[in-house]
Amino acid sequence: MHKRVFAAGVLVALAVSACGGSGTTSITPDAANAAQDLTKSVARAAATTAPTNAVSNPGFETGSLSPWTSCGSASNVAVTTAQAHSGTYSVLLGSTTTPEVNGTAGVCQTVTVPASGTLSFWVYEGTTDTISYVDQEADVESTSGTVLTQLYKEAGTTNGWEEKSFSLSSYAGQTVRLYFGVKGNGYSKDYVYEYLDDVSLTGTATASPSPTPTASASSSPTSSPTSSPTSSPTSSPTTAPTATPTPAYACNNAGFVTDQNEFAAGSISADQLVDVCGQVTQVLAKKTTSSGTHGYFYVSIAGSASPGTIEIVSNLTAMAEASTDDPPSTWPWVALGDYVYVQGRYYYDSSSSQGIDWTEDDTDSNWEHTGYVVVCNSSGTSCSKYW
pLDDT tens track of the chain, all 387 residues? 444 334 434 333 433 343 444 444 445 555 555 555 555 554 454 444 567 999 999 999 999 999 999 998 999 999 999 999 999 999 999 999 999 999 999 999 999 999 999 999 999 999 999 998 999 999 999 999 899 999 999 999 999 999 999 999 999 999 999 999 999 999 999 999 999 999 999 997 544 444 445 444 444 544 555 555 454 444 444 444 444 455 568 899 988 999 999 999 999 988 899 999 999 999 998 888 777 888 899 999 988 887 789 999 988 888 877 666 566 667 898 999 999 999 999 999 998 889 999 887 666 667 778 788 999 998 888 888 887
With contact defined as beta carbons under 8 Å apart, do 375 and 333 qualify? Answer: yes
Q: Residue 18 has what pLDDT?
A: 39
Nearby residues of 366 by Cβ (< 8 Å), 6 or more positions away? none
With contact defined as beta carbons under 8 Å apart, do 165 and 120 qualify? Answer: yes
0.85 exceeded by pTM:
no
Question: Rounded CA gap, 366 and 320, in Å?
Answer: 22
With contact defined as beta carbons under 8 Å apart, do 166 and 153 qualify? Answer: no
Burial of 131 (0-12, 13-18, 19+ CB in 10 A): middle
Q: Residue 385 has what pLDDT?
A: 85
Q: Residue 39 has what pLDDT?
A: 52
Count how many Cα atoms sit within 13 Å of the Cα of residue 132 in the half-sphere of its side chain: 3
Nearby residues of 31 by Cβ (< 8 Å), 6 or more positions away? 8, 9, 12, 217
Cα 79 to the chain's mean position, in Å?
A: 26
Where b means 16+ CB within 10 Å and e means fewer, 319-346 reads: beeeeeeebeeebbbbebebbbbbbbbb
Q: Provide the edge-to-edge strand list for the sheet that holds 162-167.
A: 77-80, 90-95, 192-202, 118-127, 162-167
- H or E element at residue 14: helix 2-19
